[in-house]
A and B are shown apart, each in its own frame.
Chain A
Amino acid sequence: MGLEQKLGDMGIVTTSLEKAVNWARSNAIWPMLFGLACCAIEMMSTQASRYDLSRFGMELMRASPRQSDLMIVAGRVSRKMAPVLRNLYDQMPDPKWVIAMGDCASCGGVFNNYAIVQGVDEIVPVDVYVAGCPPRPETLIDGIMKLQEKIKHEPLKKWQ
């Protein structure tokens, strides 16, 4: 059965390529399974049954950076971890996005000391910052929806 039969009498839908591709991209973001500290607990509960991230097309946490589009930096990044994080980011295929989840990933949080990177934006470019220590799952979902909005408005010339 082809698409014509499925759509029935709807006729023809016209749109721009930009919109169609952005729509597809924004609704099937696969995040990387990657938690660094306490914030990761909230990320796990965001995916679990109560908050259910799969409503937004994100139920597949990939354990490999090569299959993921989104890196949720959930927790504080130590200086020893920083090269590893950058390495994972470099292994992700384009297009890719980064969410800095929590105060530690956004700006260092309470850990203004020698061991912690003062904001993960020093190592990778960040698209959305989610505030909170830790952010509640609703906050993370809000951040993810902000990212979806951002992807939907990405102009064609910025596609990678």
Chain B
Amino acid sequence: MGANELTQALREALGDGIADVVVFRDEVTLNVPRERVIEVLTHLRDVQQFNMLTDETCVDYYPREPRFGILYQLYSIPRNIRVRVKVMLSEYDASLPTATGLYRNANWLEREIYDLFGIRFEGHPDLRRILLPPDWQGHPLRKEVPVTVEENAFTFNRERVDAEKPYATE
């Protein structure tokens, strides 16, 4: 089954204002507003047999607004096809409903997105940090976080960098 047939089916089922179906190089992407994402995912899982959530992740499109893109990569084991669902979120209201009710593995994937991007998932059973220590400040994969944490030391600035470094004495 190719992308065309799937696109046709999706356009018929979800086309009327729910999801925008985009095909690029035989990859099907559904652009979905935040309010409809659970509806679309339920349809894909129950009707179109996309029974596996391969990945759920986030992209920071700073300085564009809406800034964050949440991506769901779905795979259908019986049909051997893939589809991508994409939700754009504003920087000022970065939250969306959780998919844990549909796919159990979304639990940890959403915790990771929360940890690194600070996106809030409403209705998530256990929204804690998963990779970073619990007392961490900030969300390091956001683009406003600097790439390097320390100035590189060369011969001309080594003494200054050295003087600022917090050495342990005991």
Using a CB–CB distance below 8 Å, which chain A residues touch chain B? Answer: 79-80, 107-108, 112-115, 118-119, 121-125
In the complex the two chains form, is B132's CB within 8 Å of A123's CB? no
- Contact residue among B132, B136, B152, B170 (Cβ-Cβ distance under 8 Å from A112): B152
In the complex the two chains form, is B149's CB within 8 Å of A113's CB? yes
A contacts with B: majority SS: loop
What 18 new A-B contacts, CB under 8 Å, besides A79-B132, A112-B148?
Answer: A79-B133, A80-B133, A107-B153, A112-B147, A113-B147, A113-B148, A113-B149, A114-B149, A118-B149, A118-B150, A118-B165, A119-B165, A121-B165, A121-B167, A122-B168, A125-B167, A125-B168, A125-B170
The 3 closest A-B pairs by CB, nearest first: A112-B148, A114-B140, A118-B150
B contacts with A: majority SS: loop
- Tell me, rounded to whole Å, the shortest Cβ–Cβ distance linking A155 to chain B: 18
Q: Which residue of A lies closest to B132 (CB)?
A: A80
Residue numbers in A under 8 Å from B152 (CB-CB): 112
Check B1 for interface membership: any CB of A closer than 8 A: no
- Tell me, rounded to whole Å, the shortest Cβ–Cβ distance linking B131 to chain A: 8
How far, in whole Å, are A113 and B170 apart by their CA atoms in the complex?
A: 25
Q: List 26 A-B contacts (CB under 8 A).
A: A79-B132, A79-B133, A79-B136, A80-B132, A80-B133, A112-B147, A112-B149, A112-B150, A112-B152, A113-B147, A113-B149, A114-B145, A114-B149, A115-B132, A118-B149, A119-B165, A121-B165, A121-B167, A121-B168, A122-B165, A122-B167, A123-B168, A124-B168, A125-B167, A125-B168, A125-B169
Using a CB–CB distance below 8 Å, which chain B residues touch chain A? Answer: 132-133, 136, 140, 145, 147-150, 152-153, 165-170
How far, in whole Å, are A80 and B134 apart by their CA atoms in the complex?
A: 9
In the complex the two chains form, is B168's CB within 8 Å of A108's CB? no
How far, in whole Å, are A113 and B145 apart by their CA atoms in the complex?
A: 10
Q: Which of B136, B149, B169 has the most CB of A within 10 A?
A: B149
Q: Which residue of A lies closest to B152 (CB)?
A: A112
Residue numbers in A under 8 Å from B167 (CB-CB): 121-122, 125
How far, in whole Å, are A119 and B166 apart by their CA atoms in the complex?
A: 10
Residue numbers in A under 8 Å from B147 (CB-CB): 112-113
